[in-house]
């Protein structure tokens, strides 16, 4: 029994020392400048699947989780990611790497922030227009609201047979704890100028006035109208038809295809094949971007690494951000 215990301990010790050696090597390389990113480093890719013998490539891009500029997956000892900057880096490979003939974007998201979704949509449309290279989106488990907004930037939209799609709409919400705060003896203190009566709009400690409700609905409806226009133009559908579909409900892949919200139902290989077809090539290697981090980026990520309580941090951050400010979401 002792032999087995010693063997197990030796194996664990080996992996700990091995991982620490790699970590130390990364720091050493960064300090010596070996990891400084050149233009060539930024365009490096790794093979995923497909035909590895042909020079043509299709770039795989992944968009997952809540669409917000700082996307923290809640895992300890892992840096948060800026979803917009990651997309920019991917699209840079699409734009500058000559062997890449198109992009396949895998999307699995419930939606998220309005502006973040709009920026990502814009970046995809811009890359497609400037390069002339086809971009195909395929929705995974979910492509709802802001995620569908982003998918509309692609030339074609695929979905898995079991995907959930749609939820086209805009939401702004808050809670009202006025009566609860009175019951437990909590009294908010609010100081605001007489000329800014709406400064504490959506405060959880009082009811909305009718004027405040109208002003917020005006914002929500304006963003909703933009969403409708995006879907109408991208899917080449009459606005009237989109409005009938855009009541916030979600759709199965079959229903989404029937209503022209997506083009086809299939799997990664089907969307990959379609991307090759649009690019005018028969075969290609599906590849993904990889980069070596320079010293600045390495140290920056090191500083942003989560502690052991990332979920608590996120909850507190969300509570503080939403307690007194209107948050408009595509979810």
Tell me, yes or no, if 145 is annotated catalytic: yes
Say how many C-beta atoms besides its own lie within 10 A of residue 163's C-beta: 25
Q: State the Cα–Cα distance between residues 207 and 102, nearest whole angstrom.
A: 51
Cα dihedral 248/216/114/75 (nearest 10): -90
Say how many C-beta atoms besides its own lie within 10 A of residue 126's C-beta: 13
Catalytic pick from 109, 117, 145, 203?
A: 145
Cα dihedral 240/168/121/129 (nearest 10): -30
**Alpha carbon separation from 23 to 216, 271, 285, 299 (Å, rounded):** 50, 37, 31, 12
Give first-to-last CA distance, the chain, whole Å: 56
Q: State the Cα–Cα distance between residues 204 and 116, nearest whole angstrom.
A: 26
User: Do the strands 164-166 and 45-50 form a parallel or antiparallel pair, or are they unpaired?
Assistant: unpaired
Catalytic pick from 34, 96, 192, 199?
A: 199
Tell me if residue 238 falls in helix, strand or coil.
Answer: coil
Q: Give the catalytic positions in this structure.
A: 145, 199
């Amino acid at each position: 029994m002792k032999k087995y215990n010693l063997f197990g301990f030796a194996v664990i010790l080996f992996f700990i020392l091995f991982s620490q050696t790699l970590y130390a090597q990364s720091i050493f390389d960064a300090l010596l400048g070996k990891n400084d990113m050149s233009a060539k480093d930024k365009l490096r890719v790794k093979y995923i699947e497909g035909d590895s013998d042909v020079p043509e490539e299709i770039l795989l891009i992944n968009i997952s989780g809540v669409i917000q500029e700082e996307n923290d997956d809640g895992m300890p000892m892992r840096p948060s990611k800026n979803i917009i900057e990651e997309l920019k880096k991917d699209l840079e490979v699409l734009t500058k790497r000559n062997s890449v003939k198109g992009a396949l974007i895998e999307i699995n998201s419930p939606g998220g922030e309005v502006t973040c979704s709009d920026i990502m949509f814009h970046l995809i449309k811009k890359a497609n227009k400037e390069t002339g290279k086809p971009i195909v989106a395929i929705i995974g488990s979910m492509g709802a609201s802001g995620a569908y907004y982003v998918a509309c930037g692609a030339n074609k939209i695929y979905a898995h047979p079991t995907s959930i799609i749609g939820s086209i709409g805009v939401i702004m919400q808050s809670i009202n704890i006025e009566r609860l705060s009175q019951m437990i003896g909590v009294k908010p203190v609010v100081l605001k100028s007489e000329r800014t009566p709406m400064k504490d709009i959506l405060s959880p400690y009082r009811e909305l006035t009718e004027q405040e409700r109208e002003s917020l609905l005006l914002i929500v409806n304006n963003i909703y109208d933009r969403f409708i226009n995006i879907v109408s133009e991208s899917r080449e559908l009459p606005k009237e038809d989109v409005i009938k579909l855009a009541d916030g409900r979600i759709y199965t892949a079959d229903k989404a295809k029937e209503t022209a919200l997506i083009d086809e139902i299939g799997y990664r290989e089907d969307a990959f094949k379609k991307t090759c077809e649009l690019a005018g090539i028969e075969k290609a290697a599906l590849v993904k971007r990889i980069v070596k981090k320079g010293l600045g980026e390495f140290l920056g990520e090191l500083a942003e690494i989560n502690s052991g309580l990332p979920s608590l941090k996120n909850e507190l951050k969300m509570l503080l951000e939403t307690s007194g400010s209107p948050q408009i979401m595509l979810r």
